Amino acid sequence: MKRILLSAAAAASLLLAGCGPDCDAFCRKLVACGRNLDLAQCRTGCGNVGGDHVAYVNCVIDKSCVQIEADVCRLP
């Protein structure tokens, strides 16, 4: 019974992780583009509001640093 509950919890966490934006990739991209950010704080902030700004987070992940600096991704 314990194994079933652990398996169910692991599956639920994987499903929940796939529902929101990829905050880790978003924050790593910003750091790679020269932004002076604390990764842990960035991930926390993104996790708190990223669900409201999925399009913006995905835009940053998909664009080059030059495009990000040109401000092609904008918050709605």
pLDDT digits (tens, 9 = 90+) for 27-56: 999 999 999 999 999 999 999 987 889 999
Q: Is the pTM of this model over 0.75?
A: no
Residue 2 has pLDDT above 60, yes or no: no
Q: What is the pLDDT of residue 76?
A: 73
pLDDT of residue 18: 52
- Per cent of the chain over pLDDT 70 is 75
Give the 3-state secondary structure of the chain.
CHHHHHHHHHHHHHHHHCCCCCHHHHHHHHHHCCCCCCHHHHHHHHHHHHHHCHHHHHHHHHCCHHHHHCCCCCCC
